[in-house]
């Protein structure tokens, strides 16, 4: 399968990339690892006229601590996130989520900024960002802004990011030693989650239970009110209306959400 | 057309290519290096696995232009002076292949894995080859071959 024709520009800097985005509007797409975009282009589900390659920009990569937050550059690859001692210590759930993406080859190429921008509701990192209460930093022609995870994912493969904006970094609260749980149910190695659950510090996020990664707010409330993990998990699917596909119907997904939430709350690491 | 310069199996190559040219097609059709196979063409099966700067990648999901300025290693680049690479030799010794279609990708994924984890456990080998499918389901001997290669590299 061959993508439709496009022009390719290797951006020399973030501001160069922003200038190109402003010039080409929504005919352009940013390319980093390409592991969400290129498969869509090969299927011709996406046919951008211009690809702006930011994959080589060192200024957008890297992991650091800033006060109470861990800051991860947008082009940081999943394998580097998963292997980082800093991330494993400060936000172990994030390192684990990165280690669960796809397979080793995919983790060598895919980037956190790409995965979040793609906003697949079944994916690991969007769910992790919601569970962690993180945020993304966006840079646009009029400056930069920050959006929290709960507001960033707006629909099925849709985010609050505008076509002329660039996701530069991801920010998550440091939480060394805070217990966390992560459950991902797949039928085959390297599949997307049929349902996923990430739980940490009283927050519970669900993957593939709706058009975006979701908070299991009813279960969170029950937990905060003193319910046991098993009792709280009974509310994990409240208010959700997950999609149906070849892997699972709606009722099965709702059942899985409860089982996996109980496991995520009962079997915590950290 | 875009100018690319890629080091392939230690040799500097340059070409004018369409930006949409996939790395696997550049390797197979432009350079005649046909070890990397196109299997699923959807980043699932791993038959097209090569090393990019020493790390395993699926070359059906990398543009040739993205490899410009970088080093690519294919199965053809593993053996030197007619000597099989230890991973290749172990695949032969332990019958780690049946039809052979997945083999170049399996071998490259294994070489990449052993570069990251020189002494993997069996579980680490199985997880490390998660991105490679063998439709003959010959996984058992493939895992044995990678474990044998790991101990041989040590010896």
Condensed to tens digits (0 to 9), the pLDDT of residues A82-97 reads 999 999 999 999 999 9
Residue B56 is nearest to which of A10, A34, A108, comparing CB atoms? A108
Q: Considering only CB atoms, which chain B residues are within 8 Å of A1? A: 41-42
Q: What is the pLDDT of residue A183?
A: 97
Given a cut of 80, whether residue A153 has pLDDT beyond it is: yes
Q: Considering only CB atoms, which chain A residues are within 8 Å of B131? A: 102-106, 190
B22's CB contacts (< 8 A; 6+ apart) are A2, B59, B60, B61, B62, B63, B64
Quick one: A174 exposed, middle or buried, by C-beta within 10 A (0-12, 13-18, 19+)? middle
Domain ranges of chain B: 2-77, 86-154
Task: State pLDDT tens for residues A160-175.
Answer: 999 999 999 999 999 9
Residues A226-242: b if buried by 16+ CB within 10 A, e if exposed:
ebebeebbbbbbeebeb
Q: For residue B97, what is the DSSP state?
A: -
Please state, in angstroms and as integers, the Cα–Cα distance from residue B23 to each residue in A36, B67, B68, B147, following that order: 16, 7, 10, 29
Task: State pLDDT tens for residues B59-115.
Answer: 999 999 999 999 999 999 999 888 999 999 999 999 999 999 999 999 999 999 999
Question: Domain B2-77, what fold?
Answer: Ubiquitin-like (UB roll) (3.10.20)
Distance (Å, whole) CA B136 – CA B143: 14
Q: For residue B83, what is the DSSP state?
A: B
Q: What is the pLDDT of residue A191?
A: 86
Q: What is the pLDDT of residue B80?
A: 82
Residues A68-79: b if buried by 16+ CB within 10 A, e if exposed:
ebbbbbbbbbbb
Q: What is the pLDDT of residue B66?
A: 98
Do A179 and A200 form a contact (C-beta atoms < 8 A)?
Answer: yes
Q: How far apart are the first and last CA of chain B?
A: 48
Quick one: B140 exposed, middle or buried, by C-beta within 10 A (0-12, 13-18, 19+)? exposed
CA dihedral B96, B99, B105, B107 (to 10 degrees): 20
B139-154 and B86-93 helices, crossing angle to 10°: 130
User: Over chain A, what is the mean pLDDT?
Assistant: 97
Q: Name the minimum distance, in Å, from the CA of A36 to any CA of chain B.
A: 9
Sheet of A135-140: strands edge to edge? A63-66, A69-73, A166-173, A135-140, A143-148
Q: What is the pLDDT of residue B154?
A: 56
What radius of gyration do chain A's Cα atoms show? 18
Q: Is B149 on the interface with A (CB under 8 A)?
A: no
Q: Is B104 on the interface with A (CB under 8 A)?
A: no
Q: Is B17 on the interface with A (CB under 8 A)?
A: no
CATH topology identical between B2-77 and B86-154: no
Residue listed under structure tokens 């790409």? A114
The two tokens of residue A178 are 């805070």
Distance (Å, whole) CA A160 – CA A139: 13
Beta-ladder partners of A159: A153
Domain ranges of chain A: 7-53, 58-173, 180-266
Pick the CATH number of B86-154 from 1.10.645.10, 2.60.40.1930, 1.10.3720.10, 1.10.150.120: 1.10.150.120
Residue B20 is nearest to which of A3, A56, A108, comparing CB atoms? A3
Q: What is the pLDDT of residue B112?
A: 98
Do A61 and A76 form a contact (C-beta atoms < 8 A)?
Answer: yes
C-beta atoms surrounding B152 within 10 Å: 13
CA triple B55-B122-A79, angle to 5 deg: 30
Distance (Å, whole) CA B141 – CA B96: 5
Residue listed under structure tokens 């501001």? A15
Q: What is the pLDDT of residue A190?
A: 81
Distance (Å, whole) CA B91 – CA A162: 50
Question: Domain A7-53, what fold?
Answer: 3.30.43
Per-residue pLDDT, averaged over B8-16, amounts to: 98
Distance (Å, whole) CA B39 – CA B99: 13
Per-residue pLDDT, averaged over B29-53, amounts to: 97
Which numeric CATH code is attached to A180-266?
A: 3.30.390.50
Helix (H, G, I), strand (E, B) or coil at A116: helix
Question: Domain A58-173, what fold?
Answer: 3.30.465
Q: What is the pLDDT of residue B152?
A: 77
**What residues of chain B, 70 to 99, have a C-beta less than 8 Å from chain A?**
none
Task: Count CA atoms closer than 13 A to B103's CA, side-chain side.
Answer: 19
Give this complex's ipTM.
0.96
Distance (Å, whole) CA A197 – CA A205: 6
Given a cut of 70, whether residue B153 has pLDDT beyond it is: no
Q: Is A48 on the interface with B (CB under 8 A)?
A: no
Given a cut of 60, whether residue B155 has pLDDT beyond it is: no
Task: State pLDDT tens for residues A246-263.
Answer: 999 999 999 999 999 999
DSSP string, B13-64: EEEEE-TT-BHHHIIIIIS----S--SSSSSSS-TTEEEETTEEEEGGGSBG
């Amino acid at each position: 399968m061959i993508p439709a024709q496009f022009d390719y520009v290797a951006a020399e800097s973030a501001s160069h990339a922003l200038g190109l985005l402003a010039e080409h509007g929504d005919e352009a797409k940013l390319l980093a690892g390409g592991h969400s975009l290129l498969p869509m282009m090969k299927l011709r589900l996406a046919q951008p006229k211009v690809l702006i390659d930011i994959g080589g920009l060192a200024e957008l990569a890297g992991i650091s601590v800033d006060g109470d937050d861990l800051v991860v550059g947008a082009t940081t690859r999943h394998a580097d996130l998963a292997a980082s001692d800093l991330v494993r210590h400060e936000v172990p759930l994030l390192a684990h989520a990165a280690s669960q993406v796809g397979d080793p080859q995919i983790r060598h190429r895919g980037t956190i900024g790409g995965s979040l921008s793609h906003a697949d509701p079944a994916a690991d990192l969007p769910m992790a960002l919601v569970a962690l209460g993180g945020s993304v930093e966006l840079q646009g022609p009029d400056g930069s802004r920050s959006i929290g995870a709960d507001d960033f994912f707006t629909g099925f493969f849709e985010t609050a990011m505008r076509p002329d904006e660039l996701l530069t970094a991801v920010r998550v609260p440091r939480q060394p030693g805070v217990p966390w749980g992560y459950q991902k149910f797949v039928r085959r190695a390297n599949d997307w989650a049929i349902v996923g659950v990430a739980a940490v510090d009283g927050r519970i996020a669900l993957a593939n239970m709706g058009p975006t990664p979701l908070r299991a707010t009813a279960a969170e409330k029950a937990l905060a009110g003193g319910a046991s993990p098993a009792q709280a998990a009974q509310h994990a699917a409240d208010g959700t209306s997950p999609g149906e596909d070849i892997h699972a119907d709606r009722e099965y997904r709702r059942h899985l959400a409860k089982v996996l939430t109980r496991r995520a709350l009962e079997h915590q690491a950290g | 057309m875009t100018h690319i310069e890629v080091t392939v199996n230690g040799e500097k190559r340059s070409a004018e290519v369409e930006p949409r040219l996939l790395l696997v097609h550049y390797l197979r059709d432009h350079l005649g290096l046909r070890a990397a196979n196109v299997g699923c063409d959807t980043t699932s099966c791993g038959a097209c696995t090569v090393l990019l700067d020493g790390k395993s990648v699926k070359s059906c999901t990398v543009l040739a232009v993205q490899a410009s300025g970088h080093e690519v290693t294919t199965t053809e680049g593993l053996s030197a002076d007619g000597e099989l690479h230890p991973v290749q030799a172990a695949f032969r010794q332990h019958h780690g292949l049946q039809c052979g279609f997945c083999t170049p990708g399996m071998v490259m994924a294994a070489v990449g894995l052993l570069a990251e984890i020189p002494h993997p456990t069996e579980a680490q080998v199985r997880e490390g080859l998660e991105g490679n499918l063998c439709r003959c389901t010959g996984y058992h001997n493939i895992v044995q071959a990678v474990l044998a290669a790991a101990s041989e590299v040590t010896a």
